[in-house]
Amino acid sequence: MFKSLNIQEKGNENVDPIDGAERVKCLIIGSGPAGYTAAIYAARANLSPVMYEGLQPGGQLTTTTEVENYPGYPEGVTGPVMMEDFKKQAERFGTDVRFGYATKVDFSEEIHKVWIDGKTLIEAETVILATGATAKYLGLEDEKKYAGGGVSACATCDGFFYRGKEVAVVGGGDTAAEEAIYLAALANKVYLIVRRDVLRASRVMAERVKNVPNIEILWKHQTKGLFGDGVVEGATLWKNKGEENEEEVQIKIDGFFLAIGHTPNSDFVKDYLETDEIGYIKTVVGTSKTNVPGVFACGDVMDSIYRQAITAAGSGCKAAMDAERYLSEKH
């Protein structure tokens, strides 16, 4: 069970905003499939939502070249185009979409306070958090160079494009094992690049990986860089042979998948909201409700399992409906 903060009952309809603050019914922080879907539903429910898109308007999908697994796009669509479609639909129903990001919150009272860009204060009766999660990268310049050209942080999203090809997965945990097995059903060959001489994955997952014939585990290897003419054609690795003895190895691949985890964008609310050990916001099972009444979470900031556009959109719908019901009951 959640513990709820001691929210002061003030009867918000009779409380004036703080000088210089803007009062809104529904504030949506973050964009992407979750945020834009929440905005569509909130706007249609006459909540007059105000959305701040964050540092990456449209979310992670704006870095994806082709999306072929989202319903309604039979010919496929690029991530940026799809997110622009979402945004237009949200604006069509009256969502006030703004550029900016939340830097500080105060959820200690019934009217929630959110500071945008460290200076603009918004007071909101309800807040929907759709700030997403950021994939962890190795920090190589080549990861940026080949973004959209062979580098991906989501095998489920992009694996389809590598049918019959050769790919590499970086990581040694359960996520890396799962993605390697998923890709092995599509690709001709999968290299699993593991920094250590053991897998951090659970015993069951480790055994499954080892039993897939077209997965080759490269023990004690680290990625030095990628190469290719416009798209990834191979990777240069360091092989640790012990006693500071390293050997340079090159492998031919068409896709390079990062599976070293995600970081939920939740740091700015951790003083008020319950999160798991990684930072994913906890919600009441089957809802978007957090431990603070009137604050809801949707999308990748609360989903450590699926992290798909379609599931994020669905959770955004739930967040808007939960917010509307919360306001109806309160008033």
Catalytic residues: 154, 157-158
Where helices occur in the chain by DSSP H, the ranges are: 32-44, 79-92, 141-145, 155-158, 174-184, 203-210, 309-330
User: Is the CA virtual torsion 37, 273, 262, 58 positive or negative?
Assistant: positive
Q: How far is 281 from 64, CA to CA, in rounded Å?
A: 25
Of 126, 84, 82, 120, nearest to 101 by C-alpha is 120
The residue count of the chain comes to: 331
What the block records as the tokens of 223 is: 């990625």
Q: How does DSSP classify residue 100?
A: -
Backbone angles phi, psi at 217, to 5 degrees: -85, 125
Residues 226 and 232 sit within 8 Å (Cβ to Cβ): yes
Q: How far is 269 from 322, CA to CA, in rounded Å?
A: 19
What the block records as the tokens of 244 is: 């500071």
Q: How far is 166 from 214, CA to CA, in rounded Å?
A: 10
**Alpha-carbon dihedral angle through residues 238, 239, 242, 243, given to the nearest 10 degrees:** -20
Q: How far is 233 from 171, CA to CA, in rounded Å?
A: 20
Relative to beta strand 133-135, strand 262-264 is antiparallel
